[in-house]
Amino acid sequence: MTVPEILTYGAAEAARRLRDRELTSTELVGAVLERIAEVDPAVNAVRQVLADDALRAAAAADRRLAAGLPAGPLDGVPVTVKDNVDVAGSATTCGAAALADAVAYADAPVVANLRRAGAIPLARTTMPDFALRWHTDSGLTGATVNPWDAALTPGGSSGGEAVALATGMSVLGVGNDLGGSLRFPSMCAGTVALRPTLGRIPQATATVPAMSLQLIEVPGPMARRVADLWPAFAAMTAPDPRDPWYVPVPADHAPEAPRRIGVVREMPGVPYDPGVAAALDRAAGALAADGYEVLDVAPPALADAAETWARLMATDARRTWPAVEHLAAKDARRFMDLVFELVPRLDLDGYAELFTTRHRIARAWAEHQRRTPLVLAPVYARPLFRAGTDVDGPDAADAVISGLRATVAVNLLGLPAVAVPVGPVEVVPRGVQVIGPRFGERHCLAAVAVIEAAHPVRTPVDPAAGAGSARWTSADPAAMGPVGRGDPAEPGRRRRTGAAHPVRTPVDPRPPAPDQVR
């Protein structure tokens, strides 16, 4: 297979080319649909294609753009949407076969905001049943495949979205994050994702969520490149009256902060995968070379934050699980059994105390981030687990949860974080995240842009024919030859084939959720 050049464009570049009339939305949407037909049988990342609606919307966008009257900054750009985010007229299945006909009557706020910016919903992507696992396998669609190595997990719960982006079946994605569901699959796929501050992007579902979801889950953008996250984030932050937690902070607002970042070099009881440790080192080195003050200092109470998150999730899940257990597939039920075995049952006083603990830790982090605003941490510290082994037993489930310690701590505290892969790739990508203070998304994006520029991972890739054999290829025959030939700002003009390391040579640095029931 060869990735057509049109599918190497990120959302920001595609939007610019559409405005400049270098391509049409109909061409772009058609190319994505063709790529889905060609590639998805190998990776199973797309649950439903919205072809007719997308092509009609593309034709309308082309008429607006030809008249010089774009609907917004993303006019004509196709977007894929995770299957627990409502798209009007399409089923919101949450990965459950029992909800295959649960058609949404209205767009979720994030989808409505993207439509107003001109984006075009094109497909629904796969997820595990009710977003319950960090591995994407559901009773409705079956398993989604990691395009870099089919033996390893693609992550979850936004696994279909990340795989679609990594393989050129999406230009821009919508997911959500209750326990790392934006950031972990992005790390597995070699793509990027932004988890925003709680309340910054409005959200609403057909049912009123449990208290823990109200305080912890957020929607956010997923993409192949850091530059694509900003226009998506800016569009998504428009207000919506359906979200009482929405905070009307302008998208471009960020607190004043020095260029200082602390690195989480270790987490007691969690052995780091050597590849993850090396990725942290490379990311820290890139930031230091760009002028950041890099300190080996971790934020306070990281383990306590992760434990509090787990107890909140498990306690609310115990309340809601009996009503939905019969709708979930066997492995989803098995995973919940393991969670309930690992996390002790709490009484009302114990549950209430979790919110006191959350407040105490949030205050400690705020004081810490006043001095050291940014945190560089693993997304997943351990070696990537083999597909499906998260339900092998209590030890396997506990290893997954502990490997995500720095990730779920962010969820508890409602902070922003951006996941970014760090090249070079050895079999599968490794990634890091930059965590910011409340409303500090711009600071996070600036830091990960430096990391991406210094150590990029190139996508889209063709799915691996075997372990570690994913390939990046360009449709431009003039681009044949070693990486580094041509303009580094135009990845579609170079070709890399037959290698397990589809990575651009480094350049100089420059400025589940247990009760996620829909």
Q: For residues 195 and 185, is the Cβ–Cβ distance under 8 A? A: no
Cα 48 from Cα 169, distance rounded (Å): 12
Helices (H), 455-493: none
Neighbouring C-beta atoms of residue 214, cutoff 10 Å: 14
Residue 294 is inside which H or E element, if any?
strand 293-295
Report how far apart the first and last C-alpha atoms of the chain are (Å, whole number): 37
CB 182 within 8 A of CB 198: no
User: Beta strands of 145-263 (E only): which ranges?
Assistant: 173-177, 192-195, 218-223, 260-263
Question: Which H/E stretch holds residue 271?
Answer: none
- Separation of alpha carbons 478 and 495, rounded Å: 9
- Asked if 170 is an active-site residue, the reply is no
Question: Of 25, 82, 90, 170, which one is the catalytic site residue?
Answer: 82
Is-contact 225 183, C-beta < 8 A? no
Catalytic residue among 25, 90, 170, 181: 181
Name the amino acid, one letter, at 226: V
Q: Which of 157, 170, 402, 474 is catalytic?
A: 157
Residue 405 neighbours by CB under 8 Å, 6+ apart: 267, 270, 302, 303, 306, 381
Residue 181 annotated to the active site: yes
* Catalytic site includes residue 157: yes
CB 431 within 8 A of CB 187: yes
Cα maximum dimension of the chain: 68
Length of the chain: 518
Q: What span, in angstroms and rounded, lies between the C-alpha atoms of 505 and 516? A: 41
What are φ and ψ of residue 375, in 5° steps? -125, 130
Q: Which helix (H) or strand (E) holds 289?
A: helix 274-289
Catalytic residues: 82, 157, 181
